[in-house]
Amino acid sequence: MSKKIYVGNLPYNATQESLQEAFSKACPVSSAVIITDKFSGRSKGFGFIEVDNDDDMNAAISMWNQQDFGGRKLVVNEARPLKPRD
């Protein structure tokens, strides 16, 4: 079952390709998505990486959490499910 990883504090000029390339150094990456503002198209500074299993997820988190990426220290952890709004 695939696992989703939250990647926060991304530089605003980061691309999905650069994010996928960086995390591919730790493990095989299924997908990389940077969340953008729907009106301006500008990055919101966070994104998600999808990997195949727990071992890959743990390898990516341990390699990239608190590491420099484009001049900013990343916050990397397992993504939590979206909570429904009231």
Does 80 reside within a domain?
Answer: no
The encoded tokens of residue 35 equal 């969340």
Does 14 reside within a domain?
Answer: yes
DSSP string for residues in 14-69? --HHHHHHHHTTTS--SEEEEEE-TTT--EEEEEEEEESSHHHHHHHHHHHTT-EE
- pLDDT reading at 83 higher than 90: no
In this predicted model, what pLDDT tens digit does every residue of 31-49 receive, in sequence order? 999 999 999 999 999 999 9
Does 79 reside within a domain?
Answer: no
Question: Structural domain of residue 12, as residue ranges?
Answer: 3-70
- pLDDT reading at 84 higher than 90: no
Q: What is the CATH number of the domain that holds 25?
A: 3.30.70.330
pTM of the model: 0.92
User: Structurally, how many domains does the chain consist of?
Assistant: 1
Does 82 reside within a domain?
Answer: no
Does 57 reside within a domain?
Answer: yes
Does 18 reside within a domain?
Answer: yes
